[in-house]
Amino acid sequence: MALQNRVTPFGVIIATDARGAFMGNRGIIHNADTRTLHPTRRWALRAWLICVCSFKERRRTVMGKGSYTELFFLDEATALAAGHRPCFECRRADAEAFRAAFADGVGLHAPKAPEMDRILHAERLDRRAKRLHPLPMAPDRLPDGTMLAHGTEALLILNGRPWLWSPGGYRRIERWPDNPMMLTPPSTTAALAAGYRPQIDASARA
């Protein structure tokens, strides 16, 4: 049975057999004895990270004892939409590139990780639910990797066109829906506009 450890663009953690390209965490939010999530807790830290799945030959027991809860994402665009950012330990170059683009996009000088986490935390949550944001411009003008919400559906922007998200990949749709909202936090969207290039699942290019 699949563990409940896969994150959607809405930040919701679901169970699915589909594999992800990245791992991440939000602190310890699971019961190691049952390998299930805490009944209500979905984050324990403001530092929501995006990590590589393999680093320095480390071996982990998923949802094991005494360590963070491993979460997984279809791709980096999904993780960014949910409110995560690149990890400075296992993804140093990407984290520095994200920090530089974040600084340019938001208008800060060399923000440290806790400052970015504070900004992202305010933008990703409305109480304990995912915060949605009005679009600052037409969807086809937003940067690649931005994700939008239309009802319960998540849409990726790539080359000005919409792609419908699913746990297993993306599917091209013909037109933008009416009145979508932005899932990707505004500061992350600003980082994308300033030049950060997230990894996007290959299904969006098929």
Taking only the tens place, the pLDDT of each residue in 147-203 is 999 999 999 999 999 999 999 999 999 999 999 999 999 999 999 999 999 999 999
**Single-letter amino acid, residue 93:** A
Query: Do residue 117 and residue 168 come from a single domain?
Result: no
Q: Are residues 93 and 149 in the same domain?
A: no
Answer yes or no: do 56 and 150 share one domain: no
What pTM was estimated for this model as a whole?
Answer: 0.95
Give phi and psi for 175, each to the nearest 5: -145, 160
Q: Tell whether 120 and 34 lie within a shared domain.
A: yes
47/114 same-domain check: yes
Give the mean pLDDT of the chain: 94
Closest listed residue to residue 27, CA positions, set 67, 65, 59: 67
Other C-beta atoms lying within 10 Å of the C-beta of residue 175: 7
Pair (38, 122) in one structural domain: yes
Asked if 120 and 81 count as a contact pair (C-beta separation under 8 A), the reply is no
Q: Are residues 98 and 142 in the same domain?
A: no
pLDDT surpassing 80 at residue 51: yes
Together in a domain, 154 and 201:
yes
Q: Which of 65, 96, 126 is the last residue of a domain?
A: 126
**Cβ-count burial 37-60 (b if 16+ within 10 Å, e if not):** beeeebbeebbbbbbbeeeeeeee
Domain hosting 193: range is 129-205
Average pLDDT over residues 41-46: 93
Q: Give yes or no: residues 18 and 93 share one domain.
A: yes
Whether 43 and 94 share a structural domain? yes
Dist. CA 161–CA 25, nearest whole Å? 30
Percent pLDDT > 90 in the chain is 86
Same domain, 143 and 58: no
